[in-house]
């Protein structure tokens, strides 16, 4: 017969075993760090514990180490600086490869002669290519950004050539391409159909803008799913190397989205992608309007924790640089060639309202490209009308770019539930690709009032940012944005000194909010992403320097040591 002591030991051992079995253990813990959480309730932490892709503890090293189990991976940060993964709310991962790596890559090429040599050699090396497609040539290389067809005709006379510019709003064509697209001196032009013509003969010179590009897109053989997959994978690896764990695309249609889904099905999609479907935009519209709308209606088959297909891209205007934005005050006479030219928006307020109402009722957030102050005001009018008609549906909408946003209109946006903004591309500092053109178009005074970031934050708006890669910047590096939002000066180009609208400079804390939690709020996913907090997806980055311990002018140059998405390291510098 067992003694009472033996029975007690057995019972106590059983209790300990049950307690140990019920103890929650982490898959991974990160300890001994300087973790900036972007969570007001707990701004700093030493360590985090992650399980099933989410943060389960954020706090002290001792608290987190208590969750260590036999299979827990332990990472000692050795005092390194950690912050949430970055949101980039305006990226072009689908346009960029098609007018680049998948065909002829021209970004960064700095002269007409070099471009022509590259086109000539590419045509010789690719005799079976039906079209010579390339991009994205830099603004400022050609007088009035208007290269001529004859230059291309001389080197490729027998095949169509289409070269996209860096903004995605202009294209350079040879005569064969214009012939196939049906672009002639008799083609009717408008705010949206912009064709550069010889002032004497009326003949197209070879440069087109805005939705004229669709005429070309509709006759270019489009890429297939298999063409996109590997290129997109490589682009996303680049984004991850800059700490960007979530991006919103500024375009989308079924081919690249099918490629995204294939990557995810093969466990190769390592970044969260918020897709904005093209609707009456400049590019990727080799489809009828009915086809695009049907793609949007059937979007849920792509939805997951990595693919968010619930947004639609709408161009409200082109850009003030090309005179295709609506302004509240007229363009400079020397630029427009006449007095009293205000430009125009792409649709009327009534047309915008009907589109916004339709998408809002579908649960699709509008991602509206708007640069001119007059265009932005028109869009706000339409958003107010949408809210009046539909009420608060819970769908998140945003106005993007906001280059010339009037401070008078900021309170109107702030009064609309679930309507927010991003500032992109980052030309809130002197920028060689945009500032000179903007000054020419609207003058120094109005240029000096652009991008009122500080005022937008003070209004209570959720604010995000996007690099507009590759159309505005050769890199999606968010540390350019973080530094320049604080200094309002150019951190990387010594040829562009000075500041723009320094009164709108913000703090480091505000800049980090905009690049992380602000982006999540704009997209309506702040309950899942954007800060380091218990219950959220474990997306964070480890940097090579503590942004709070260095001079502001040293932020640009920061390197990402490690990028973690869903609790897994998806990029390592080493």
Question: Whole-angstrom Cα distance, residue 370 to residue 315?
Answer: 7
pLDDT given for residue 3 in this prediction: 52
Give the pairing of strands 44-45 and 34-36: antiparallel
Question: Whole-angstrom Cα distance, residue 444 to residue 447?
Answer: 5
Query: pLDDT averaged over the chain?
Result: 91
* 221-225, 450-454, 474-478: the lowest-pLDDT one: 221-225
CA nearest to 473, candidates 452, 456, 492: 492
pLDDT given for residue 246 in this prediction: 98
396-423 pLDDT, tens digit each: 999 999 999 999 999 999 999 999 999 9
* 113-127, 158-172, 322-336: the lowest-pLDDT one: 158-172
Length of the chain: 574
Give the three-class secondary structure for 376: helix
* 142-146, 199-203, 537-541: the lowest-pLDDT one: 142-146
The yes-or-no verdict on residue 331 having pLDDT over 70 is yes
Question: Whole-angstrom Cα distance, residue 238 to residue 88?
Answer: 13
Radius of gyration of the chain, Cα coordinates, nearest whole angstrom: 26
Three-point CA angle 277, 281, 282, nearest 5°: 125
pLDDT given for residue 17 in this prediction: 40
Question: Residue 263 in contact with residue 331, Cβ under 8 Å?
Answer: no
| Sheet of strand 307-315, all strands in order from the earlier edge strand to the far edge | 86-91, 244-249, 272-278, 307-315, 365-370, 397-401, 419-423, 463-465
pLDDT given for residue 473 in this prediction: 73
Terminal-to-terminal C-alpha distance of the chain: 64
Helix, strand, coil fractions of the chain, as percent rounded to 5: 35, 20, 45
470-517 pLDDT, tens digit each: 766 778 999 999 999 999 999 999 999 999 999 999 999 999 999 999
Question: Whole-angstrom Cα distance, residue 470 to residue 105?
Answer: 11
What is the pTM for the complete model shown? 0.86
Question: Whole-angstrom Cα distance, residue 93 to residue 109?
Answer: 20
pLDDT given for residue 277 in this prediction: 95
pLDDT given for residue 102 in this prediction: 79
The yes-or-no verdict on residue 18 having pLDDT over 70 is no
* 131-145, 175-189, 316-330: the lowest-pLDDT one: 131-145
CA nearest to 403, candidates 325, 349, 511: 325
For 285, the token pair is 């519209």
pLDDT band at 59 (very low <50, low <70, confident <90, very high): very high
pLDDT given for residue 108 in this prediction: 74
pLDDT given for residue 286 in this prediction: 60
Number of H helices, E strands in the chain: 20, 24
CA nearest to 516, candidates 503, 526, 506, 501: 526
**Taking residues 214-243, what's their average pLDDT?**
88
| Sheet of strand 81-84, all strands in order from the earlier edge strand to the far edge | 44-45, 34-36, 81-84, 540-543, 560-565, 568-572
Give the count of beta carbons closer than 10 Å to the beta carbon of residue 95.
Answer: 23
The yes-or-no verdict on residue 101 having pLDDT over 80 is no
Handedness of CA 215, 220, 221, 227 (dihedral sign): negative
418-449 pLDDT, tens digit each: 999 999 887 899 998 789 989 999 999 999 99
């Amino acid at each position: 017969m067992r003694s009472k002591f033996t029975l007690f030991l057995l019972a106590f051992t059983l209790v300990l075993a049950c307690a140990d079995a019920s103890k929650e253990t982490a898959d991974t813990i990160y300890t001994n760090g300087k973790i900036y959480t972007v969570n007001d309730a707990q701004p700093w932490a030493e360590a985090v514990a992650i399980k099933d892709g989410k943060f389960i503890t954020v706090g002290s090293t001792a608290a987190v180490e208590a969750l260590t189990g036999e299979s827990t991976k332990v990472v000692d940060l050795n005092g390194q600086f950690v912050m949430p993964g970055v949101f980039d709310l305006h990226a072009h991962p689908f346009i960029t490869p098609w007018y680049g790596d998948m065909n002829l890559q021209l970004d960064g090429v700095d002269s007409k002669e070099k471009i022509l040599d590259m086109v000539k050699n590419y045509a010789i090396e690719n005799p079976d290519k039906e079209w010579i497609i390339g991009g994205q040539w830099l603004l400022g290389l050609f007088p009035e950004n208007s290269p001529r067809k004859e230059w291309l005709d001389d080197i490729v006379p027998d095949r169509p050539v289409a070269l996209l510019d860096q903004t995605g709003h202009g294209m350079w064509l040879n005569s064969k391409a214009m012939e196939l697209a049906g672009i002639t001196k008799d083609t009717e032009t408008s705010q949206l159909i912009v064709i550069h013509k010889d002032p004497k003969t009326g003949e197209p010179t070879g440069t087109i803008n805005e939705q004229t590009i669709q005429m070309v897109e509709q006759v270019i053989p489009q890429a297939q799913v298999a063409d996109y997959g590997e290129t997109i994978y490589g682009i996303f690896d680049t984004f991850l190397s800059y700490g960007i764990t979530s991006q919103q695309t500024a375009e989308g249609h079924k081919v690249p989205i099918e490629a995204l889904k294939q990557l995810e099905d093969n466990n190769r999609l390592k970044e969260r992608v918020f897709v904005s479907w093209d609707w009456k935009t400049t590019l990727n519209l080799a489809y009828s309007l009915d086809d695009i709308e049907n793609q949007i209606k059937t979007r849920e088959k792509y939805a997951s924790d990595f693919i968010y297909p619930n947004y639609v891209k709408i161009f409200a205007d082109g850009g003030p640089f090309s005179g295709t934005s609506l302004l509240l005050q007229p363009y400079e006479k020397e630029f427009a060639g006449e007095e009293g030219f205000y430009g125009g928006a792409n649709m009327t307020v009534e047309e915008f309202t009907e589109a916004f109402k339709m998408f809002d009722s579908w649960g699709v957030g509008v991602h509206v490209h708007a640069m001119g102050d007059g265009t932005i005001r028109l869009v706000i009018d339409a958003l107010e009308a949408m809210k009046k008609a539909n009420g608060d549906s819970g769908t998140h909408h945003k106005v993007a770019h906001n280059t010339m946003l009037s401070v008078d209109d900021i309170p109107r946006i702030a009064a609309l539930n679930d309507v927010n903004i991003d500032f992109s591309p980052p030309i809130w500092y002197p920028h060689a690709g945009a500032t000179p053109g903007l000054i020419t178009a609207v003058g120094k005074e109005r240029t000096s009032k652009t991008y009122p970031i500080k005022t937008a934050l003070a209004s209570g708006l959720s604010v995000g940012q996007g690099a507009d890669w590759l159309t505005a910047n050769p890199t999606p590096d968010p540390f350019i944005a973080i530094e320049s939002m604080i200094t309002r000066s150019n951190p990387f180009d010594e040829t562009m000194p000075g500041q723009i609208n320094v009164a709108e400079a913000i703090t480091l804390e505000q800049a980090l909010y905009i690049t992380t939690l602000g982006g999540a709020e704009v997209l309506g996913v702040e309950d899942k992403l954007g800060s380091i907090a218990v219950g959220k997806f474990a997306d964070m980055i480890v940097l090579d320097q503590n942004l709070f311990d260095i001079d502001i002018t040293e932020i640009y140059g920061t390197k990402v040591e490690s990028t973690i998405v869903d609790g897994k390291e998806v990029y390592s510098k080493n």
